[in-house]
Amino acid sequence: MLNGWIKKSVLSLCIFLGLFAWFGMQPVVADGFYEDDLVIAFLPRSLGNPIFLDAFEAAQKKAHELGVRLEWVAPFDFDSDLQVEMIENLIRRGVDGIVASVNDEEQVHNVFQKAMENGIPVATFDADSPGSGRLFYIGINNYEAGMEIGDALVDVIKSKGLEEETLETMIMTGYREALNLEERIRGFLDATNGEVNLHIADILENEDTVEKSIILLEDYLKINPEVDVIYFVGGWPFYVTSDALPNFRQWAKEGGIAVGIDLFYDALLLQKEGLIQYLIGQDMTSMGSQGLELLVRYIRYGEVPPEIVVTGLEHANETNIDRLLEIHKPWLVK
Amino acid sequence: MRRFEMFWSKLAKKTEIHTIRTKLILSFLAMALIPLGIMAVFSYQTFYGNLTRSVAEYSHEVVGRMAKDLDEYFSDLEVLLTRDQDFYMDQLIKLVDGNDFNNRKYVFRIWEDLNNLYRVKPGLEEISLVFSGGNRLSNYGLYTLDFASFQRQFQSNPHERGVAILGPQQNFLNQTVVTMVKPYTSPTAKNAVFMTADISLERLANITDVRLGTRGYVFVADEHGRIIYHPSLDKLGTTSGFYRPTELHGFADGFGDYDNERFFLTTAYSPVTGWTIVSVAYADEIGAQVAPIQRITLVVTALILVGVVLLSVYLSHALSRPIKELQDLTKRAANNELSVHIDPQGNDEIAMLGHSFNKMIRRIQELMDENVREQKLLRKLEMESLDNQIKPHFIYNTLDLIIGQLESNQNEQASLLIEALGSFFRLSLSKGREVVPIGSEVEHVRNYLFIQQLRHGDEYEYEMTIEPGIRDKFIPRLLLQPLVENAIYHGILQANRQGKIHIAGFQKPNGDITFEIQDDGAGIEPDKLRDINEVLRGERSLRNEKEYFGLRNVNKRAQLMFGDEYGVVLESEQGQGTKAILNIKATREDPDV
């Protein structure tokens, strides 16, 4: 009997200690109480670009999970100078870590250095600044993404029997200064070069703004309905329904070929309607979630992450469009 | 006092302050400068007072407008922060309270909304939602803040209508802002949620961007005198030196001193914010606006002064010069230089005075010439009278008489005669005196009569009745004797009978003295009497110089001395006698003395 009691006691004690250890290891998350008061600031390229919302939600959840405070700050519109100013103020306010999607790759070098000199580790996501001394980059390989979308376009053109024709092509990007976007263009051009005959008629810059991208697209197609191919380096105009893009819809109906990078529910709807032929998407969720965790673990435990953390690419074409529509939720932001 | 008097006396002498010219200069200067000075002072005071009032009115208008602008701006902001049942905010609050992070739809829409508000409202630097968990969702994104501190500030600041204004403080981008805070009422909120709007101090600077003078400025303070906005940013948050706790809203209008300088304050209260706008003008700058007027006034006054002085000198010189000339000529005339002549210019009183002066000098010259002539005539007549008296015939006869008496041993008689003759000659000469006492003249006549009576024997008697009171009066010498001689030779001796001569002298009631030499001799026939009197009156010119010589001599000398109304008049009745009446003025003093 005594042995039984002892066994029970020891077992209870072990369970208790185990639970105690487990709970002890968990960050105590309560509203207003954070484990070590870490504040991690994310800077997307702009608040007004909905593409970062996946990362935003994921980062919030991860922050809550890790018991850190998340700051998510950016100029509403693309503004390199203001982004740098914000980083300066984050340094002044004494945040514990910074993860930024860089607007101007060279412009941030000095402020990143300043942050690091003040003991604030800096990482990049989505748009990198390789020469800045940042801790790590998390995101897609933008050049490879450009190549993949270029390859996809080649396949589409060949499937339409247009590979011998010279196709007038318009490229829509955010800013020519954005490294990630330029890498996507470079990859695209390298992929299509020699495979199809693309004549790059225009490269439009929408300043990383949804509204401007829509206006530019519609106006361009009004004036240049003869363009054959449009390559969207990012998914800025995809946040609206096709009713808001009548010229684009008409152009697509008349055989215009559009491909783009950024994959989300509204874009998939446009693809489903036939306005877009191929989409490649980034895993923004991982950028937000994993990016935060890697930095927090570095700050807390000194775990040095890999310099480049590649998040995967997602392809959307006519074969999997329906499935993807079920997976991706509507954003309903526009 | 004595020294002052001596000093003043010397000064007066040196500056010739006593002269008409100096008096005129001083008078003109006083007449011009006193009103000018009064006018200048009065104008200056009036202008300064008006200027101060204008500055005060302008300042009141300016700060009043500023307060109104401030009220309007913050009222608009308050409207901006008043969100009644905003769906997206309510939903987000619900998700936040529940730690649900699938909030992109609401967050993005709120970001868009906040960004639009940020763009639309000038001066708005940031607009946000503040959650009690310490998160702030603004147009810059999501970031953390010290909620406890935030709430303390909100509660310690007075908040009417539930609104508080915090700051000045630094915002997310390290800009100096004031923050308007209003609680957001959500039916879904478990904890407090606030809406905030950060207003750049530049906005306050724009509202208060009016300078009064080169150094004047405007600042904004709360009711505790704490500076909300000041052009010198280092004063933000400090207590203003102009703050007076006893004053309504803490500041008083008007002139005041601070830090050894004088200022002019104008204030206006903003009821919406609870702030006071204070405009500060430097008193010396206000005064400096008067400086140009002051300078102009001084310059003009100085010019007028110079002009007045020059004009005064010129006018006084112009006015006093003829007077001075007149003075000089008068002086010369007084020194017997009667040839002076003034040349008057114009027709004013001084010219008239000049003409009168010339006339006077001429008249004086004439009178002097006339006097000289009369004196000469008088001397001539006297000499003639003397010659007449000291005739050789009279002397020879008298000396013969004396010799005869000596020869006839009538020594006593001779002695009397010699004495009488000597006395006669002595009195005739009277040491050259022009007038002699009547007593002496009477004595002279008495001696004459004594001598003549001795010469002529008992042919006549004589009697003299002279009032004692007139004896000490004066009479031109040798005036009675010729009349007595006429009475003897043309009266008594012509009658060829014994006669009588009566000589009377008396003073008339009017003070004049009359001598009457009466004889009862032959008298004068009427025509001749009339003729004689006409000649004596000057009504008839002489036929020859010797005509009535003795009578004319006495008459003329009397008239020369006393005037034409005096002299000799004859009364006579033929065969009865003649009366020679001599009228003279009573002369008490000896003019030769």
| Omega of the bond leading into B168 within 30 degrees of 0 (cis) | yes
Taking residues A322-333, report their average pLDDT: 80
User: What is the band of B288 on the pLDDT scale with cuts at 50, 70, 90?
Assistant: low
- Cβ atoms of residues B261 and B215 within 8 Å: no
**Mean pLDDT lowest for which of A162-176, B34-48, B104-118?**
B34-48
How far is residue B506 from each of residues A155, B178, B465, B473, measured CA to CA in Å?
Answer: 181, 130, 8, 11
Bridge-based pairing of strands A308-310 and B435-437 is: unpaired
Res A21: pLDDT: 46
Query: Which of left, alpha, beta for B511 (phi over 0: left; psi -120 to 50: alpha)?
Result: left
Whole-number pLDDT of residue A24: 44
Q: How far apart are CA A200 and CA A228, in angstroms?
A: 10
Q: What's the maximum distance between 2 C-alpha atoms anywhere in chain B?
A: 196
> Tokens 């994993």 identify what position?
A290
Torsion of CA A243, A244, A246, A252, to 10 degrees: -80
C-alpha–C-alpha distance, residues B541 and A266, integer Å: 163
What average pLDDT is seen over chain A? Answer: 89
- A162 shares contact with chain B (CB less than 8 Å): no
Closest CA–CA distance from residue B83 to any residue of chain A (Å): 20
Average pLDDT, chain B: 86
SS3 B321: helix
Q: Does B151 touch chain A (CB under 8 A)?
A: no
Q: With pLDDT > 70 as the criterion, what percentage of chain A qualifies?
A: 88
Angle at A180 (CA atoms; ends A198, A216), nearest 5 degrees = 60
Residue B437 forms beta bridges with which residues?
B474
Q: How far is A79 from chain B (nearest CA, A)?
A: 12
**What does the alpha-carbon distance between residue A325 and residue A269 come to, in Å, rounded to a whole number?**
8
pLDDT (tens digit, 9 = 90+) per residue, A23-35? 444 433 333 344 5
Does the distance separating the beta carbons of B109 and A60 come in below 8 Å? no
Res B393: pLDDT:
76
Asked if A240 is an interface residue toward chain B (Cβ–Cβ < 8 A), one would say: no
Question: Confidence class of residue A7 from pLDDT cuts 50, 70 and 90?
Answer: low
Mean pLDDT, residues B353-375 taken together: 83
Q: Nearest-CA neighbor of B126 among B74, B90, B178?
A: B178
Q: What local confidence, expressed as pLDDT, does residue B421 receive? A: 87
Instruction: Tell me if A152 sits within 8 A of A278, measured CB to CB.
Output: yes
C-alpha–C-alpha distance, residues B482 and A259, integer Å: 175
Q: Is A136 on the interface with B (CB under 8 A)?
A: no
Q: Over 90: is that where the pLDDT of B398 sits?
A: no
pLDDT band at A187 (very low <50, low <70, confident <90, very high): very high
Q: Find the range with the poorest average confidence among A30-39, B224-233, B248-257, B458-467.
A: A30-39
Q: Please state which of the ranges A119-123, B223-227, B323-327, B405-409 shows the lowest mean pLDDT.
A: B323-327
Q: State yes or no: pLDDT of B547 exceeds 90.
A: no
Suggest the residue from A43, A76, A111, A331 to mutate for an interface test with chain B (most B CBs closer than 10 A): A76
Helices marked H in B82-125: 87-97, 104-120
pLDDT at B175: 92
Give the model's pLDDT for residue A150: 97
Shortest alpha-carbon distance between residue A242 and chain B (Å): 20
- What mean pLDDT comes out for the span B30-51? 80
Q: Above 80 in pLDDT, residue B469? A: yes
Provide the token pair at B375.
């004196």
Q: Give the pLDDT mean for B297-306.
A: 80
Residue B157 — pLDDT band, cuts 50, 70, 90? confident
CA angle B169, B170, B176 (to 5 degrees): 80
Q: Percentage of residues in chain A with pLDDT exceeding 90?
A: 76
Beta-carbon count within 10 A of B248 CB? 11
Please list, in sequence order, all residues whose beta carbon lies within 8 angstroms of the beta carbon of residue B91, skipping any fewer than 6 positions away.
Answer: B106, B188
- Please give, rounded to a whole number of angstroms, the shortest distance from the CA of A32 to a CA of chain B: 5
AA letter at A204? L
The answer to which of A69-73, A95-99, B386-390, B410-414 has the lowest mean pLDDT is: B386-390
Q: What is the pLDDT of residues B484-507, one digit of tens each?
A: 999 999 999 888 888 999 999 999
Checking if the pLDDT of B284 tops 50, the result is yes
How sure is the predictor about B590, in pLDDT bands with cuts at 50, 70 and 90?
A: low
- Quick one: pLDDT at residue B511? 92
For A316, residues 6+ apart whose C-beta sits below 8 A from its C-beta are A263, A267, A268, A271, A278, A279, A280, A281, A324
pLDDT, tens digit, 9 for 90 and up, residues B184-222: 988 878 888 999 999 999 888 888 887 777 888 999 999
DSSP string, A129-140: -GGGT-S-EEE-
Q: Is residue B525's pLDDT more than 60?
A: yes
The two tokens of residue B39 are: 């006018």
Q: Does residue B386 or residue B316 have the better pLDDT?
A: B316
Structure tokens given for A133:
């001394």
- CA B109 to each of CA A165, B89, B425: distance values in angstroms, whole numbers, following the listed order: 44, 9, 161
pLDDT at B341 over 80: yes
Chain A residues whose beta carbon lies within 8 Å of the beta carbon of residue B87: none
- Would you state the pLDDT for residue A23? 45
Task: Tell me how close the Cα of B86 comes to any Cα of chain A, in angstroms.
Answer: 16
Q: Residue A68 pLDDT > 60, yes or no? A: yes
Mean pLDDT for A20-46 is 62
pLDDT tens digits for B408-467?
Answer: 888 888 898 888 888 888 887 777 787 889 999 999 999 999 888 888 877 788 999 999
Distance from CA of residue B521 to its chain's centroid?
81
Q: Does B108 touch chain A (CB under 8 A)?
A: yes
Asked whether residue A288 carries a pLDDT value surpassing 90, the answer given is yes
Indicate the helix (H) or strand (E) that contains A188. Answer: helix A179-192
% of residues, chain B, pLDDT over 70 = 95
Q: Is the pTM of this model over 0.80?
A: no
Provide the percentage of residues in chain B whose pLDDT is more than 90. Answer: 40
B563: contact with A, CB 8 A cutoff? no
Of B139, B130, B127, B105, the C-alpha closest to B186 is B130
Residues of A whose CB is below 8 A from B103: 57, 60
Average pLDDT over residues A53-76: 94
Euclidean distance between CA atoms B389 and B395, whole angstroms: 9
Confidence (pLDDT) at A26: 41
Most confidently predicted of A29-33, A143-147, B251-255, B324-328: A143-147
Does B489 contact A at CB distance below 8 Å?
no
- Residue B29 confidence (pLDDT) above 70: yes
Most B CBs within 10 A among A72, A78, A84, A209, hence the mutation to make, goes to A72
